[in-house]
Structures are given as C-alpha cells and as structure tokens.
Structure 1
Amino acid sequence: MFISVILAHPHGGSFNHAIAEVAVAALRECGHTVAFHDLYAENFDPLLPYDEILRDAPLPPFVAAHCAEIAAADGLVVVHPDWWGMPPAILKGWIDRILRPGVAYRFLEGDAGEGVPVGLLKAKAALVFNTSNTPGQRELEVFGDPLERLWKDCICTFCGIPAVHRRMFSVVVTSTDGQRRAWLDEARRMTREVFPPDSA
C-alpha cells in the first residue's frame, strides 16, 4: 500500500514528531510505501491564492505534486496538535490547497443546488493522531471534540475515505516519560491495525 503521512507541528522535538516517526516506522515494517511530509520543515505555503480556487486552475509544481500524491494514496495518516479546537494553520492551508475539487471531491451533477459531494480519494482508511493539553472528558463535555467532527465528517467522509480512526493523546504537558512511551506503543499498534502488512 502507498500511505501518505502528514505532520504539522513547528517543533522538531515535539511529541507529535515522535508519533509521526513511530507511525512511519510501523508502516514501513508492514511493507508499505510511505510518503512523509513535515509541513513546517518543508515550509509549505498554506495561503490559497484566488487564482487556485477554480477547479481547472494551473497549480504550482509543489501543489500539483501533493495533489497527485494524495490522489494515489491507499491510506492517510495525519499528526497534529489541537490548537483552539482546530489544526495548526499550516495544515488547514494544506487541506485548502490539496483537497481540492477534482482531486479529493466533486459535486453531484444535476442536483437541485444543494451541493451533494462525491468523494474522489481512493484511500480506504485514514488515521489521525492528535495531542492536547485538555483532559479528554472536558474536551468532550465542554467543547464537543470538534476535531472528531472535522476529520470524520467534514474532511475524510466528504472526500470518500470510508474508514476514519482517530486518537487524541492528553494531557501531554503533564505526562510522564512512561506515559509517553505507552502512548507511542499505542500509536504503533494502531498504525499496524489500520494498515496491516500487505498480503502479497
């Protein structure tokens, strides 16, 4: 399988980076081909210019390359922190520029104007890892876990990915080394479960 892995955290020594490293290693151990992108390290430009909005707009080479990669991917792994109930702006910009009409989705022709989406991505599964400094119960009861809705309903299902798995690790800021090691073991296990070794 060909798996696209997207990381969005500005600090190279972050726990997000550790999660991404574990996920990439697990995928490769399972025999998968991995395309890994650290958006901050690559200085990905998150600004969507007006002339890219149209479906058939000419795209900069780096945007076209990302689009081709996500269209070809059999699976998607995303790693990012929870900032204000949202992904970091650089990842939101990646979503805006890469999960574009004609690549990730189109709208059903002949509808009554309600914009019924048809997902175009061939990926069969997505795995999203988040980190937070909010306790899980408070995240759910007070904020409603907006990232769950965002990734499952607003992005992955919309773009045609049928299986969406997600894990929020919290509270990171007060976690011990032992807790972090256990979380990394869990991330490794989840990655192998969602994307098991190829049978071929």
Structure 2
Amino acid sequence: MKALVVVSHPSPDSFNHALADAVRRTWTSFGCDVTFHDLYLEQFQPLLTAEEARGVPSFDPLVQAHIAQLRESDLLAVVHPNCWGAPPAMMKGWIDRVFAPEAAYTFAKGADQGDESIGLLKMRAALVLNTGNTVLEREQNHFGDPLDRIWRRCILDFCGVQEVSRALFGVVATSSPDQRAAWLQQAEAMASDVHRVAAQTERPSPA
C-alpha cells in the first residue's frame, strides 16, 4: 500500500513535524511504502503560474512528481497549523498546484461550468491533522471549524476521497509535554484506524 505524508510548518522542530513523523512511523510499521514531504525543507514553490491557473499542466518537475505521488497513493496524510481558519500559504499553494484539474478532478463537460466535479483520486482514505491556539469548543462553536469543511468537503470529497479522518490539536502554545505526548498517541491511533479502513476499502477502478 502506498502512502503520502505532507507537512507544512517553517520550523523542523515543530509539533506539526512530530505529528507527521508519528503518522509516517505508524504507516511504515504496517508495511506501507511511505513518501514523506516537508514542503519548507524541499523549498516547494507555492505560487500558481498563470498557465496553471488556466488549467495548463505544470511544467515544474517537483510539482509533477507530487501530482504523480498523490494519484498513486492509497493513503494521504496532511499536517499543518490553523492559520486564520485556513491552511498556511505554503500548504495552500501545494493544494493549488498539486490538486490540479485533470489530475485530481475533472468535469463531465470538460470544463468548470459550475457543475458537480468528478473526482480522479483513487486513494482509499485520508488523514488531516491540524494544530491551533484556540480552545476547541470555541473553534467549533464560534468559528465553525472551517478547516474541517475545507479539507473534507471542498478538497478531498471534491476530488473523490470519501473516507476522511481529522483532528485539531490545541491549545498548542500552552500545552504541556504530557499533553503533547497524549496527542501524539492519538495521532498514532488515528493513523492506525485510517490504515485499517484503507485495507478494508477496495481501491476504485481508474476513471
């Protein structure tokens, strides 16, 4: 089973990286072929080109490689902080360039005319882990947890991925070492559950 883990945080010592490593270790322990991307370490170029904005396939070799890995993966994990209720700029640029038209999704009429998308991704399950500094009850009840809607509905479901597991860990800024250790254990357990779901889910036939 192929898996893709992507983390976006400028500090290599961040808790985001610890979460991503926990997922990578868990899936590797199950025998998955795991590809790991640290977007800042790789200096991924997040700026969408004018051609890409018009639907032209990217000529960037790194973007092409990421697209190929996304399309080949049975499992996906993305890890990033909550930035104003959205992914940070680096991760948003990765989404813009890698979840590309005719790679991650298409339309029945061949163009985006506001109709329902056709998801092209064949992965069996996805895991989204976010960190934040807002009390969870306030994030959900006051802000409506926009990251959950963005990833679950606006991106993954749009591209054909229906089995999505997600967690928001916080408040990170004031968390204790014991709390972070408990969160890492939760991330490992979620990664195990997502792997189990993927193992029980038949990979969709190519579109």
Residues 1:106 and 1:10: Cα distance change in structure 2 (over 3 Å): same
The alignment's C-alpha RMSD in Å is 1.8
Residue deviations 1:159-196 (CA, integer Å, cap 9, x gap): 00011110001111111111110110110111011113
Match of residue 26 from structure 1: 26
Shift of 1:133: 0.6
Residue deviations 1:12-54 (CA, integer Å, cap 9, x gap): 1110011011110000001101010000111100000102234
Q: Look up the equivalent residue of 1:46 and give its one-letter code.
A: P
Gap runs ≥5 in structure 1: none
Asked if 1:149 corresponds to 2:153, the answer is: no
* Partners of 2:39 and 2:110 in 1: CA distance: 38
Shift of 1:83: 0.9
Shift of 1:59: 1.6
- State the identity as a percent: 46
Match of residue 178 from structure 2: 178
Match of residue 106 from structure 1: 106
Shift of 1:60: 1.4
* Partners of 2:112 and 2:127 in 1: CA distance: 34
Match of residue 204 from structure 2: none
TM-score (normalizing by structure 1): 0.94
Moved over 4 A (4+): none
Match of residue 37 from structure 2: 37
Asked if 1:162 corresponds to 2:158, the answer is: no
Shift of 1:58: 4.9
Determine if contact 1:30/1:198 at 8 Å carries over to the other structure.
no
Determine if contact 1:132/1:171 at 8 Å carries over to the other structure.
yes
* Partners of 1:175 and 1:2 in 2: CA distance: 33
* Partners of 2:18 and 2:110 in 1: CA distance: 47
State the secondary structure of the residue aligned to 2:137. Answer: helix
Asked if 1:78 corresponds to 2:71, the answer is: no
Q: Which moved more, 1:103-112 or 1:44-53?
A: 103-112
Aligned length: 199
Match of residue 9 from structure 2: 9
Residues 1:58 and 1:156: Cα distance change in structure 2 (over 3 Å): closer
Residues 1:113 and 1:87: Cα distance change in structure 2 (over 3 Å): closer
Match of residue 63 from structure 2: 63
Shift of 1:124: 1.2
Match of residue 88 from structure 1: 88
Residues 1:2 and 1:142: Cα distance change in structure 2 (over 3 Å): same
Determine if contact 1:32/1:198 at 8 Å carries over to the other structure.
no
State the secondary structure of the residue aligned to 2:122. Answer: coil
Residue deviations 1:59-107 (CA, integer Å, cap 9, x gap): 2111111111101111110000001111110000000001001110001
Shift of 1:112: 11
Match of residue 49 from structure 1: 49
